[in-house]
Structure formats: C-alpha cells, structure tokens
C-alpha cells in the first residue's frame, strides 16, 4: 500500500491529467501524480534559476550541512523510504535497503567530504615562454540549473543520488523521475525541505516523456539514466539548444569464469547480481562465459542456487529474494528473449516463463546452450535471466565479451590475480571487477560510466561532480611591460631573436 502521506496526494492529484502509480507486485493503483506540462516545467526551472545564486553563495560548508541533514532524514525515515520504494517498484526490502538507501546515504557523505576538494581552484604551471610569470588556474563554476532524468529501476540511488553532486557543486536541480516510480522523488523533495534546503533549490517535475523533453529544454545541463534508445532522444533534444548532457545507458554486462576460479564464490555472485532487483539493473550480469573444464560444475551450482530463490510480493525482510517486474513492457522483452533463445536451440534449465496470478512476475531463468545468434546474448534483457555459454579458453571469452555494442560493466574470475588483471584490461567496458561483481559502484572514488552505446560521461569520482560545472580558465599577469615582445609593430630584429629562441628550445635536428 502507499504510505499514509501519499494517500492524500493521490486524492489531490487525481484527474484527467494525472498519472496512476501502480504497485507491480499487486497490480494495485497506489497514488496519482501530476503530468507536468512544458509551461509548468519552465516555471519550475525559472524558480530554480532564481534560487541558484543564493544556494551557490552559502558555500560548500553550508551546502554540506543541509545535505548532511538530508542524509540523517533518510536514515530516520528509512522504514517509510523503503516502503515507498518497495510499493512502487515491487522489489524486496533488502534491495531497497542495500542498493538504494545504503548507496545514497554513503554518496551524500562522500560528496560532503570531497566536493570542496574536487572543485577547488586547479593551479596550472606554465610551460610556454609566453606564460612565464603568469598566474593560471581553472575554477569550477556551477552550470546553474541541472536537470536530472531518472530511471524506474532505482528511484532513489539513480535519481536523487545523481542530484547530490549537482547540488553540492552549487547548482539547483529539477528532477524528473520516471512516471513509473515517481513517489520516492516526491519523498526526497519533502526530506530536502525538512533538512533546511532553501525554497526551490530541489524541485521535482513528475510526468511522462513530454515532461522529460521539457526539462531538457528548460535547464542548463542534463544528466540522464535510462535506455540507450531514450538516451539518443535526450541527446537529440539537447542538441537543439546545445545543452551539455551526460548519459548512463544500457548494458549487456559479461561475466568471464576461468577454469581456476573459485566456483562457489563465482556462482553465488552470478546468481545474486544476475537476479538482484529482478535483473533490472544496468550493471546486472546479463551473460556468462565459462571455460569448458568447469562449465558443467558451474552450471550445476547455478541451477541449484536459482531453484532455491523465493519470488513473490515483497513482505517482511527475509521473506522473498526476487520481486516483480517493475515496468510492464519489460515482461514482453524478457519473454521474447527467452523464446528466441529456445527457438534457436537453447535450453531452459530453470524458470523460463511468467508467473500466473496476482502481480507482474517473471521466473528467475537459467539458459544454457546459448550463442551470439540469440537476443539473450546480444540485446539488453533487463530481467531475471542468466544465459551461460561454454567457451574453449580465455581468448574466446574475451572475444565474445567484447562482441557487443554495449560497454558498461564486467567481471572476470580467476585465482591468478596477475593474469586476471591483464585480461581485465582487455575488456571493452567502463569498469571491470576481478573476483568481484560491481562492487566498484560502491567505490565512489572510482568513475562509473559506459563505453560504446552504454553512455557518455561518468558519475562518481572527481569527474562525476566536475561534469556539473563550467571549467573557467583564468590567467593573471601580475607585472608586465607596456608592450609585450610579440605585440605590434613587428620588427625584424625581434623576429630573428624569436626564431633563434624557437630553434634553441625545440632543437629540430636533421630529418631522418
């Protein structure tokens, strides 16, 4: 059920232009939210723009104090926050706790500590004859109003979480959450007010795709997380106004298991990160390549562990492992990928179909005898499927892992750490874990971003906050002559002297 605080809002915002919010685990409509028009979005952006200078002026320490208040608010209200996330996504409370609340509170703490350091003036040493004696630095200045367009699978960590560095950099933010899961964003808006954020520093624009397009038009910079298909539309829209944009898009993340791997650890990791959040994670394990000598043993472990998973409507902690399919059209994609694989010769050894009855569920599914002719190995499934392919050796595994238009995350499993790192450095992806799986996402010091069609730009690390800023280069001449040596009027003697200096500095030598 919707939280007590959401029920009045559902009544207030119901109507012809309202969007119904569904609990995918029960099919129940739990709230309605406004479908904001372009004019309404423009007004929100105007309010945010008026508030931005004051927000920037309170300094890093002032912003950190407010964001720390938000972190504490999230922890104090954790039961309500988790219940809201579970209600609108259908995920188990453990997924909401670990991948949403833990991640977001840790990130707030990280940015409160690192923002000032990462955005401090960057001193630059001169390397040119013409800049000797000059003071030079780069100052990072907020864009102004940042639009964050969030996904439905992680309505806290990948929506509000991406607002945190933008806010800490001195921007105000308009968050456009997915119309499928907007309630968590509205809860964060309440939390920011209670944490002491000034009016209009953080605003939420609920609505559909047209609302998102209006956000792109109205703001000064956009960060988008979602599908590659929608990311292209965001980029095309941003190009009309030359609005800077960063994109975290789809993935088809490979897992490579070598014959000397710790198979028990690897199998546990594959099952957890293949099926956690119902497989609805951009960095889920979407395909597994296992060396032939250990293939049968590894598959046996996966089958045993997958059959033991509990699926159903989320209840108390510890009651289920796999929740619902959050976004209705995703069920069709999952089913299509499984059926395509079977038609082309794959075998389903666990699961393979939708669950009958209340709610929207797809069984945790293990596929074997797969190859790259099948959609389950080449297209993003974004559901609880784990296709496992036998390979001759590491070289074949690497070739297949890189045979994709995506490049978001990956993992490689071996007891030979030196070889593991060497092979990891040949995977074409934004991140690779050796003997671990996607823990790099929790390492906020590391950049997280995609290659190829998995996106552009990063979240986390210094680059993940500098992207929300203009880089402003400043050069100061403390003392200088009335006329520099290279100023008008040009003189023959000066030109000859400069020519001699050029040769002395750069020693051209004889051509080889």
Whole-angstrom distance, CA of residue 143 vs CA of residue 58 = 16
**282 carries an active-site annotation:** yes
Structure tokens at 305: 């562990």
Q: What is the pTM of this model?
A: 0.95
Position 232 scores a pLDDT of 98
Ordered by start, the domain boundaries in the chain are 6-249+461-470, 253-444
pLDDT at 9: 39
Cα 330–Cα 335–Cα 340 angle in degrees, nearest 5: 125
- Phi and psi angles of residue 460, each rounded to the nearest 5 degrees, phi first: 75, 170
The one catalytic residue in 56, 94, 100, 248 is 248
- Decide if domain 253-444 falls under CATH 3.40.309.10: yes
pLDDT at 17: 85
Catalytic residue among 163, 188, 282, 469: 282
Task: Name the strands in the sheet holding 253-257, side by side, starting at the edge strand that comes first in the sequence.
Answer: 347-350, 365-368, 385-391, 285-291, 253-257, 411-413, 433-434
CA distance 84 to 183: 7
Q: HEC string of 323-358?
A: CCCCCHHHHHHHHHHHHHHHHCCCEEEECCCECCCC
In this prediction, residue 509 carries a pLDDT of 84
pLDDT by position in tens, the chain (length 512)? 343 344 333 333 333 489 999 999 999 999 999 999 999 999 999 999 999 999 999 999 999 999 999 999 999 999 999 999 999 999 999 999 999 999 999 999 999 999 999 999 999 999 998 999 999 999 999 999 999 999 999 999 999 999 999 999 999 999 999 999 999 999 999 999 999 999 999 999 999 999 999 999 999 999 999 999 999 999 999 999 999 999 999 999 999 999 999 999 999 999 999 999 999 999 999 999 999 999 999 999 999 999 999 999 999 999 999 999 999 999 999 999 999 999 999 999 999 999 998 999 999 999 999 999 999 999 999 999 999 999 999 999 999 999 999 999 999 999 999 999 999 999 999 999 999 999 999 999 999 999 999 999 999 999 999 999 999 999 999 999 999 999 999 999 999 999 999 999 998 888 77
What fold, for 6-249+461-470?
Answer: Aldehyde Dehydrogenase; Chain A, domain 1 (3.40.605)
Distance CA 30, CA 464 (A): 35
**6-249+461-470 with 253-444: one CATH topology?**
no
pLDDT score, position 331 = 97
What pLDDT, on a 0 to 100 scale, did the predictor assign at position 510?
Answer: 80
Report the distance separating Cα 353 and Cα 346, nearest Å.
14
Give the 3-state secondary structure percentages of the chain, helix then strand then coil, rounded to 5: 45, 20, 35
163 counts as catalytic: no
């Amino acid at each position: 059920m919707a939280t007590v605080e959401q029920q009045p809002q559902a009544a207030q915002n119901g109507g012809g232009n309202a969007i119904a919010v569904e609990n995918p685990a029960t099919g129940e409509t739990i709230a309605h939210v406004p479908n904001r028009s372009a004019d309404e979005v423009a007004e929100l952006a105007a309010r945010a723009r008026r508030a931005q200078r004051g927000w920037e002026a309170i300094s890093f320490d002032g912003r950190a104090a407010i964001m720390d208040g938000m972190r504490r608010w999230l922890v104090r209200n954790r039961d309500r926050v988790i219940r809201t996330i579970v209600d609108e996504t259908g995920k188990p409370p453990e997924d909401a706790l670990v991948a949403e609340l833990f991640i977001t509170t840790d990130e707030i703490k990280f940015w409160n500590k690192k923002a000032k350091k990462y955005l401090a003036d960057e001193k630059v040493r001169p390397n040119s004859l013409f800049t000797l004696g000059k003071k030079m630095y780069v100052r990072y200045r907020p864009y102004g109003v940042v639009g964050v367009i969030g996904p439905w699978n992680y309505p806290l960590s990948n929506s509000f979480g991406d607002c945190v560095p933008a806010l800490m950099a001195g921007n105000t933010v308009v968050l456009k959450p997915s119309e499928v899961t907007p309630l968590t964003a509205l809860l964060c808006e309440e939390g920011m007010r209670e944490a002491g954020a000034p009016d209009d520093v953080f605003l939420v624009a609920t609505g559909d795709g047209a609302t998102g397009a209006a956000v792109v038009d109205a703001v000064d910079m956009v960060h988008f997380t979602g599908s590659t298909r929608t990311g292209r539309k965001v980029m095309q829209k941003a190009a009309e106004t030359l609005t800077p944009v960063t994109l975290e898009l789809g993935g088809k993340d490979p897992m490579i298991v070598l014959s000397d791997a710790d198979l028990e650890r690897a199998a546990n990791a594959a099952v957890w990160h293949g099926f956690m959040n119902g497989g609805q994670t951009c960095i889920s394990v979407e395909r597994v390549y296992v060396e032939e000598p250990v293939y049968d043993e590894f598959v046996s472990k996966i089958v045993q562990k997958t059959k033991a998973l509990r699926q159903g409507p989320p209840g108390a902690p510890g009651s289920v492992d796999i929740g619902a399919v959050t976004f209705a059209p995703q069920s069709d994609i999952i089913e299509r990928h499984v059926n395509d694989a079977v038609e082309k010769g794959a075998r389903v050894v666990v699961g393979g179909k939708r669950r009958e009855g209340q709610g929207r569920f797809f069984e945790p599914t293990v596929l074997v005898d797969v190859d790259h002719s099948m959609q389950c190995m080449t297209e993003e499934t974004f559901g609880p499927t784990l296709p496992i392919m036998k390979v001759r050796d590491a070289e074949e595994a690497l070739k297949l892992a890189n045979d994709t238009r995506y490049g978001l995350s990956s993992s490689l499993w071996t007891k030979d750490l030196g070889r593991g790192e060497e092979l990891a450095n040949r995977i074409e992806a934004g991140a690779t874990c050796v003997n671990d799986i996607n823990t790099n996402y929790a390492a906020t010091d590391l950049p997280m971003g995609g290659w190829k069609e998995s996106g552009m730009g990063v979240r986390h690390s210094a680059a993940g906050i500098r992207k929300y800023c203009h880089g402003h280069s400043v050069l100061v001449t403390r003392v200088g002559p009335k006329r520099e040596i290279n100023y008008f009027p040009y003189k023959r003697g000066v030109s000859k002297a400069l020519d001699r200096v050029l040769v002395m500095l750069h020693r051209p030598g004889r051509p080889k």
